[in-house]
Amino acid sequence: MRIADEVASALADGRPVVALESTILAHGLPRPENLRVGREIEAAVRDEGAVPATIAVLDGEVRVGLDDAGLREIAERDDVLKLGVRDLGPALVRRAPGATTVASTATIAARAGISAFATGGLGGVHRGASETFDESADLLALADAPVVVVCAGVKSILDVGATLERLETLSVPVLGFGTDRMPGFYLSDSGHAVPWRVDDAAEVAAIQRARRDLGLRQAVVVANPLPEDEAMDPALHDRVLIDALTAAEEEGVAGKEATPFVLGRFHAGTGGESLRVNVTLVLRNAALAARIAGALAG
């Protein structure tokens, strides 16, 4: 694991650092916007006074903190793999370039001593999982990665209710930020309630400190909704979702290809609307994670 100098010195000084995942760049957003968005996410973290640490695997090393050349490789190379926790070992030995998911980013961030992490939407239980067994490795990883994860809920392509049940089973706290509704990623409200509402970054930090004092190892999920006027039109969302899930089934898409496939269909089928919404929510999450990191450091 190689921690970038800027990240290492911030951690050593107790200054705020925010971990960022790279799968959203390599496999969740289309080119060429992905590189621009990767830079904007880092800038959003800096604007709130924290140091960004985008995590990925390059040249046979886990990198915590990428320079611009590293970001460019992740965004532009054709051979970047999607790396869950189980893929890290083989990718390092083969020196294969790879982007880390929520699961592997949270795991590495915790190992590196980073306390806050921002993403778009968490992985979770896929629709139809009772037959396919497709549940994102994000969920189990969050059960043993003591970081605060800021997201816009779980991706709305998933079974949100089942995902909330699994998070309960795994003892992962879910805090609605300024809301008692679970956000729905592209949508402001998934139709489900969250167990706890919080209203500011200081309270999230206090909760994480209290948990740390108890030695609790689960991640804390902070679910940050988009304001309704920035979210996707629910009718458009539902129409494209049905098309995307039908196409995935017809084409036999499974395993780690499933999520990138469905997100790609969204970007193609909404005339750029899903891209706009995805970028908006991830920038908001990055800024909030930076404020929480600041509150944790202070």
Interacting residues toward ligand PSU by CB under 6 A: 21, 23-24, 27-28, 101-103, 119-121, 123, 136-138, 256, 259, 263, 278, 282
| 82 tagged catalytic | no
> Could you say which of ligand PSU, Mn ion, none residue 137 binds, taking C-beta under 5 to 8 angstroms by partner kind?
ligand PSU
138 touches Mn ion by CB under 5 A: no
Point out the residue whose Cβ comes nearest to ligand PSU. Answer: 120
> Could you say which of Mn ion, ligand PSU, none residue 121 binds, taking C-beta under 5 to 8 angstroms by partner kind?
ligand PSU
Per-residue DSSP letter, 29: S
| 256 tagged catalytic | no
Q: How far is the CB of 266 from Mn ion (least distance, A)?
A: 17
Q: Which two tokens stand for residue 230?
A: 């920035």
Handedness of CA 239, 245, 246, 251 (dihedral sign): positive
Site size with Mn ion, rule: CB under 5 A = 1
State which of residues 42, 134, 138, 159 lies at the interface with Mn ion (CB under 5 A): 134
Q: How far is the CB of 134 from ligand PSU (least distance, A)?
A: 8
Question: How do beta strands 81-83 and 61-64 pair?
Answer: unpaired
Backbone torsions φ then ψ of 91, nearest 5 degrees: -65, -40
| Active-site entry in 82, 135, 155, 256 | 155
For residues 163 and 138, the answer to whether their CB atoms sit within 8 Å is no
Q: How far is the CB of 25 from ligand PSU (least distance, A)?
A: 8
Spell out the residues 6+ positions from residue 64 whose beta carbon is closer than 8 angstroms to its own. Answer: 1, 2, 3, 4, 7, 19, 53, 55, 108, 109, 112, 114
For ligand PSU, give the closer residue by CB, 42 or 138.
138
> Could you say which of Mn ion, ligand PSU, none residue 73 binds, taking C-beta under 5 to 8 angstroms by partner kind?
none
Handedness of CA 24, 140, 195, 200 (dihedral sign): negative
Most distant pair of Cα atoms in the chain: their distance: 53
Q: Which two tokens stand for residue 155?
A: 């991706």
> Could you say which of Mn ion, ligand PSU, none residue 58 binds, taking C-beta under 5 to 8 angstroms by partner kind?
none
Q: Contact positions toward Mn ion, by CB under 5 A?
A: 134
Residues acting as catalytic residues: 21, 155
